[in-house]
Amino acid sequence: MPNARTHDAITYAIIPFTYLAAEMYWGDHTTSVIATVAMLFSGLMFGPDLDLDSKPYRRWGPLKFLWKPYQAALPHRSKLSHGPILGTVIRVAYFTVVFSVFAATVLYIRHRYVNGDQTTWQNEFNVVKADLFAFWNETDRQYLWSAFAGLWAGALAHTTADIFWSAIKRRRR
């Protein structure tokens, strides 16, 4: 497999192509920037190699523990982690759920023990859930689709590099 430096170089190299493809498809600068930033995020921090102790995993710093259950549940290079569409959908769904639980826990601790407010974890989770639904309902669908397209493009670049690298290694044998 290509090492992290190679994957990063590929990610950086496809920035202009991602922007141009998005611009040609959507014809909107903001949407194209969203797709490009999402691709960059996917290539560096949200890609298929989150299923193991990798550079993208370590880039999460103190929040990398959020990805431990993901690593335990998915075998490396499975279609569930490395499939460009399915893997991206699973990572987005996983992150949404795990981050919501984490955010609710942080809010509960802050409100209950720092501020001394009368609250419950369920109440804080409902606030996070309501905020997520509000974000979903109030955000232009084109922006959401372009963000997903960017996440997908970053994952696709990673998986494609893995496939080509494996094919080259097999030919050399």
pLDDT tens digit sequence for 42-100: 999 999 999 999 999 999 999 999 999 999 999 888 889 988 899 999 999 999 999 99
Tell me what the mean pLDDT of segment 105-113 comes to.
96
User: Residue 145 pLDDT > 80, yes or no?
Assistant: yes
User: Residue 106 pLDDT > 80, yes or no?
Assistant: yes
pLDDT tens column, 30-39 = 999 999 999 9
pLDDT at 1 (0 to 100):
75
CA 126 to chain CA centroid, Å, is 23
pLDDT interval class at 169 (50, 70, 90): confident
Structural domain including 81 reads 4-172
Closest Cα to residue 159, out of 86, 83, 92, 93?
A: 83
Give how many domains the chain has, as a whole number.
Answer: 1
Tell me what the mean pLDDT of segment 148-157 comes to.
97
Query: Given the structure tokens 């109440």, which residue do they identify?
Result: 123
